[in-house]
Structure 1
């Protein structure tokens, strides 16, 4: 069977070398930056809970234990669509949650 061509374009952003912005782009960013939060329309932005654990750890621990875990199908699909190593990302989110809750108990 012939390989299906994808119309997905992948790009990598190097934070050390941000893209050059046009004068128009800079003007729009400056205009938004000067607006009070109450005026900005967030209706098209996805809902993100204000949880600290949303900032998942980037450094993953070396030792892991294999288990069977039941999670919602929607959650699993979300992580699977993020690509390879999705299980490690699930672990990173759970680790961040644990660390955030450890900090609150102290």
Structure 2
């Protein structure tokens, strides 16, 4: 077994050593070119609201395998993303009930 670790992080993992060694200008350039990273300015943040997460409740739930696989393909945090989708659905249903 090799005694040194590879410089490349496993898929879905952050290579913190490489990130720390990357100059701030390079990180900014990469972020600016990332199509999944929308450009923001002070105006964008002017209307932002801080939302603190509510407490979590641990449950046992069964989901269709393809649904879980879909969310897992997005990498770490798939349970958080599933919760966000359920929250949006809940909020939409609550808004419907509140309409006159």
User: Which ranges of 4 or more aligned residues in structure 1 deviate by more than 4 Å?
Assistant: none
Using CA pairs below 8 Å that are at least 6 residues apart, which structure has the higher relative contact order? 1
What's the RMSD between the two structures over aligned residues?
A: 2.9
1:73 has 2:65 as partner: yes
Shift of 1:61: 2.2
Q: Does the C-alpha gap of structure 1 residues 99 and 92 become closer, same or farther in structure 2, counting only changes over 3 Å?
A: same
Query: Normalized against structure 1, the TM-score is what?
Result: 0.47
Q: Is the 8 A contact 1:79 1:90 kept in 2?
A: yes
Q: Which ranges of structure 2 fall in alignment gaps of 5 or more residues? A: 12-32, 41-50
Q: 1:60 to 1:96 in 2, by over 3 A?
A: farther
1:84 to 66, 76, 79: 76
CA distance in 2, matches of 1:100, 1:16: 28
Across the two proteins, how many residue pairs are aligned to each other?
61
Tell me the TM-score normalised to structure 2 length.
0.50
Change (3 A) 1:63 1:91: same
- 1:16 equivalent in structure 2: 39
Q: Which has the higher helix share?
A: 2
Are the counterparts in 2 of residues 79 and 86 from structure 1 also a CA contact under 8 Å?
A: yes
